[in-house]
Chain A
């Protein structure tokens, strides 16, 4: 699903965000991307949905060569993946239903498909009963669910989450993570960048640890802190 080979990224001001990163993520995997802030997690995700291009290296997402992607082809890539952020990025003057439908409407979906898929996505995240409410009337967890529903409404094969629980309390965090787990079981590849150790330790999924723009460890069923896992596989 995702393949990075010798990817480096330097910002125009000279900061080296990623340093020779190579990573393979298969179809249907659930992967945590962990590390302190400023270690390149967000930069890596941005490269995947082509918010930026790498300075060097090859990136393939769902068979698309993202590093060489022409500007005009970016929308097509984004329709194949969903992205969720810490700050939800919802539109305050649209209802839950409208926020989710927006992702389909602005990509030219037929209104028949919108009518069919929006309720399905809202059902999945458990917000069908609040579809007429505005983001301001929802709790943080509900807002994030709305954002997840929006990311999923086009049935993407890949869901990228950048600190999805960064603004949420522990209980809500657990709920959101369980939701992401369910989504993964249905077949969507999920990549979650986080520095929430509790979540990572409870879920026991693949953990890719980054430090200073490099992948330092890659464990099959890892913990947030290195050395806690029994079956860790060191790489690179």
Chain B
């Protein structure tokens, strides 16, 4: 390890970084704003996805038996459903309990006391592991002997699933746009610093420095812009999370955010990586343009 060489290189990077302070601040600010928006977006997306999963996990299939189904038939139906690897749980609801539950649900709206006979069949309440499999599990239950009907909230599930895929699609688009904008601005900033140092670059080329060597300080500069910008953004996001998140919980009393899991560390690392990459790639491109001419 040649410490003198390293010191020279780091000195050059530091000198250029501080010499073009105004430009660096522009670049860092741009990265910070972009990463804040990106982070906020990822956060909202994760929250919505969590809420969606939460709602979907409550979806259940009601498998109603035929009126002439024997207890033995129902028992074998229950074990058949349990054997299905997609099924999370199966609960037997006898018709009596079904009526109690129904009365409870419509209490105050419909007077059920006039009912002299229980019109409900026995049913099995089935919960699935993954929301996407609800339709398929219901369809296969429908075909089993002794089953009159297998129903679930078809509309809701379909809508939620579609919403999820649309969210993912928009997410990728938004991220690409953010990253591109940040990249273009950093690239322009670095081009200005490259221009400010064109004399130095000309001398480096004259004395036989390789293009890789000439590029390196600029790449470091871009990397530094990206990392610093992302760092500032992460600090802002952390503050926002600790102050705004509790208020969001208050504002949405009907929603349970308990199932919303956000891995803050992983997201922070991702954002930092995005910032660094954008900075490095953008400066690579802008120096490359200069070196080719």
Residues of A within 8 A of B (CB): 49, 72, 74-79, 83, 89, 91, 93, 102-103, 105-112, 114-115, 150, 154
Contact = CB atoms under 8 A, between A and B. Distances in A.
A91 B199 contact: yes
Contacts of A111: 2-5, 7-8
B204 interface: yes
B208 to A, nearest CB: 3
A81 B203 CA distance: 13
Given A74-B208, A78-B205, 8 more contacts: A72-B211, A77-B208, A79-B208, A102-B203, A106-B207, A106-B213, A111-B7, A150-B207
Contacts of A83: 206
A78 B209 CA distance: 8
A105 B200 CA distance: 13
A76 B202 CA distance: 16
A110 B2 contact: yes
25 contacts: A49-B206, A75-B211, A78-B205, A78-B206, A78-B207, A78-B208, A83-B206, A89-B206, A91-B199, A91-B203, A93-B15, A103-B207, A105-B5, A106-B209, A107-B208, A107-B209, A107-B210, A107-B213, A108-B213, A109-B5, A111-B4, A111-B7, A111-B8, A114-B4, A154-B207
Contacts of B8: 105, 111
B6 to A, nearest CB: 9
Given A91-B200, A91-B203, A75 B2 contact: no
Interface of B: 2-5, 7-8, 15, 199-200, 202-211, 213-214
A225 to B, nearest CB: 32
B198 to A, nearest CB: 12
B211 to A, nearest CB: 8
Residue among B204, B206, B211 with most chain A CB within 10 A? B206
B207 A110 contact: no
Residue among B3, B15, B207 with most chain A CB within 10 A? B207
A71 to B, nearest CB: 8
A114 B211 CA distance: 21
B118 to A, nearest CB: 88
Contacts of B4: 110-112, 114-115
A103 B8 CA distance: 12
